[in-house]
Structure 1
Amino acid sequence: MTKVYGVPRGIRSETAERSTLAQMDGRLCSKVTCAREAVATLTYDYGDQMAALGPLGGTNHPNAHDLCAQHAERVSVPTGWIVVRHEAMRA
């Protein structure tokens, strides 16, 4: 029986499928049910109660959350926190 990512063929898990898609099309949105390509990265500074949202980071960092355009637009943070949105410079 052929195995794909350690899972028998025909019994592919969602995680294995997301991994395959990520390798083909770039990084995916971190939201569990979203399969869209990530375009922004969200990081948190708990000490300053701040979230920073900017262009997709160069590497996939474990403490950063990659988001698609739809989820990046709808980011919400706890009451009292601020969101700093960094936009790519345009020529």
Structure 2
Amino acid sequence: MNRSCSRVACTSDAVATLTYVYADSMAVLGPLSMSHEPHSYDLCVRHAERLSAPQGWQVIRHAVLGEAGFGA
């Protein structure tokens, strides 16, 4: 399940998947999805840790229990 980070010019392996919920002004970051989803973004550790959302938006970070992952 090796996929690259979705950020332009980044060739690092993705470890997390970012999805936006526009209706709720929310960015949801979780473990890498099993397959690529067309309306989501795969991020490497560096970009997942640095993720920020527009002012007024909420960022939800989901992590798998027992795993040291992004933002840990």
Q: Provide TM-score, normalisation by structure 2.
A: 0.89
The residue that corresponds to 2:24 in the other structure is 48
Q: Provide TM-score, normalisation by structure 1.
A: 0.71
Counting helix residues as a fraction of each chain, which structure ranks higher? 1
Count of aligned residue pairs for this structure pair: 67
SS at structure 2 position matched to 1:47 = helix
Q: In 1, distance between residues paired with 2:18 and 2:64?
A: 14
Runs of 4+ in 1 over 2 A off after TM superposition: none
Q: In 2, distance between residues paired with 1:60 and 1:85?
A: 19
Pairing 1:17-56 to 2, within 5 Å after superposition: 26-56=2-32
Q: Which runs of 5+ in 1 are unaligned?
A: 1-24
Indicate the structure (1 or 2) with the bigger Cα radius of gyration.
1
Superposition RMSD in Å: 1.4
Identity of matched residues, %: 52
Give the superposition deviation at 1:90: 1.1
The residue that corresponds to 1:74 in the other structure is 50
Q: Which runs of 5+ in 2 are unaligned?
A: 68-72
Q: In 2, distance between residues paired with 1:57 and 1:26?
A: 11
Q: Which has the higher contact order (CA 8 A, sep 6+)?
A: 2
Structure 1 letter corresponding to 2:42: D
SS at structure 1 position matched to 2:23 = coil
Q: In 2, distance between residues paired with 1:89 and 1:64?
A: 22
